[in-house]
Amino acid sequence: KTVAQLAIAWVLMHPAITGAIVGARRPDQIEQNVGGAGWRIPEEDMQAIEAIYRRTVGQEQ
């Protein structure tokens, strides 16, 4: 998977988000975006990503 696919999958799995608006300039980017939409990130990975996110935006508790 790509970083773009990870970002799309994370956004779509976030409980406070109901949809993702993404753009593309080339057909291969559309295919890449679709690959992120159907991907379920494992719970362990989601927890690690959330921890990094909280540290990055200064919300570590």
pLDDT of residue 37: 86
Residue 8 falls within a domain, yes or no? yes
| pLDDT tens track for 24-52 | 999 999 988 898 888 899 999 999 998 99
In a domain? residue 61: no
Closest among 52, 48, 37 to 6, alpha carbons compared: 37
- pTM of the predicted structure, to 2 decimals: 0.73
Domain span at residue 35 reads 3-56
What per-residue confidence (pLDDT) applies to 26? 95
Q: Check whether 59 has a pLDDT greater than 70.
A: no
Q: Please, which pLDDT band fits residue 16 given cuts at 50, 70 and 90? A: confident
Q: Pick the residue with more confidence: 61 or 5? A: 5
Residue 52 maps to a domain:
yes
Distance CA 3, CA 7 (A): 6
